[in-house]
Structure 1
Amino acid sequence: MKKSKILMIIGSLLLLGLFVFPLWNITLEAPQYPIPLGMDIHINKFADTHEFDVKNINLMNHYVGMQYIPETIPEFKIFPWAIGFMVALGVLFGFLGNHKLFLVWFVIISLLGIAGMYDFYLWEYDYGHNLDPKAIMKFTNPDGSIMGFQPPLFGSKDILNFKAHSYPRLGAYLMFLGMFLTFVAFFVGKKEAKA
């Protein structure tokens, strides 16, 4: 089997790691929490980093009027199917061996990834800004506007006395590695086609 086909198939199969490992993590550090609170985001669920973390985040958020982190969101029904489809399509393209199809797959998965990150940003924005006006505690910015509590999309951010961190986890790294391998497969396949 040609090297480009092997790279394409392995790259596509690496996306299966998203069914096992978390895609993203949001962690909240504060003096009153010696062990930071954390939430792992999988393609089909929210999970505690440590036992009861999501419950504790919800209790804390209640005081400032933030929405509860739901048990599920509509994306959790869509993402597993989309990832499964892309894995199957990538393996099929790998067996077909047409390097142009490798690039098509890479573009599609990149667009899906961008759409997923944008959707995540919108969810975070709504979660951090759509506050209950009857909240027990209200905080305002220096200009008098209501303070938002949106965690960062990527990186770290100070929110009151909390330091919020938002970074990819192993599932995302496996996906990025898989995407990189399929991109390399395109160039290897192009070179093989000329030879």
Structure 2
Amino acid sequence: MTESAAARRSRITPERESELYGAVLGLLREVGYDALTMDAVAARTRSSKATLYRQWGGKAELVVRALRHEKPVNLADVDTGTLRGDFHELAVRQNDCQLEADSALMRGLAMAVHANPDLLQAFRELLIEPELAELRRMLQRAVDRGEVRADNPACEYVLHMLIGAFAARTLIDDLPPTQDFLVSYVDAVVLPALGV
């Protein structure tokens, strides 16, 4: 984050920021990204539009920061001592209702990302890159423990596999992702690909 972005963001209390992020995600679920406006966020949160722009710069950054803030799993907090345990922990941190709601939200955003370069850039910088860095640390721990070969080419595709399972479940099976499905997918696909 740049110094100016840090300065912009320091004026709102963590409680107020959390409240704003919750409202943004609520609106996003109701109307989708394209119909979401800073005016609507300002009205819902009883904020001024100028404050929102000053703090977040625009809709894309606000939406992605809200997603990151409300993310139930912080990869940095997961270290069970085994890669299998870590992946299972990731799969069960959300209940099935939350998984279904998040799946629907992410399907809607996937469409918006393709039509909005600023949203794609915010996703990459604020969500994907930090997640990849944490996932690489998790995989490096598995390499250090001898669970995964350092030269295993599947290591570069773990995030793709995980997102694919989450996103494709509804498309292929007409069912939302569930904890049981994700645990089973990890055991049948991700871990064997990694040689675990």
More strand by proportion, 1 or 2? Answer: 1
The TM-score, its normalising length taken from structure 1, stands at 0.28
Greater relative CO, 1 or 2 (CA 8 Å, sep 6+): 1
The TM-score, its normalising length taken from structure 2, stands at 0.28
**Larger Rg: 1 or 2?**
1
More helix by proportion, 1 or 2? Answer: 2
